[in-house]
Amino acid sequence: MNITEVKIRKFFSDGNIKAVISITIDNSLAIHDIKVIQGTDRLFAAMPSRKDENGIYRDIVHPIDSETRDKFERIILAAYENYVALESIMNDEQF
């Protein structure tokens, strides 16, 4: 299973949520609303979730094992960091 596309849907310069991302897996399955969040120690990817009847957020879709979660997070965060770098270059060139 491979991530074949990563799209930065929204980018935020302020706050803990840094981006909202969609990925495509094996050119066959899309997962939307993955969030890049600035935690206390590092950036991380939060899978799409919703609040249950007890007010607890539960992932709607998520990797089953830590190896797959780590692989997805590395790819998602690398795409985010590339996007931030390109945004920085584009902003520098406008002046």
What class is the 3-93 domain? alpha beta
19-to-7, 67, 83, 91, 95 alpha-carbon distances in Å: 10, 23, 10, 18, 25
Say if CB 48 and CB 32 are below 8 A apart: yes
Under-70 pLDDT residues of the chain? 92-95
Per-residue model confidence (pLDDT) at position 41 = 94
Q: Report the predicted TM-score, pTM, of the whole model to 2 decimal places.
A: 0.86
Per-residue model confidence (pLDDT) at position 93 = 64
Per-residue model confidence (pLDDT) at position 95 = 52
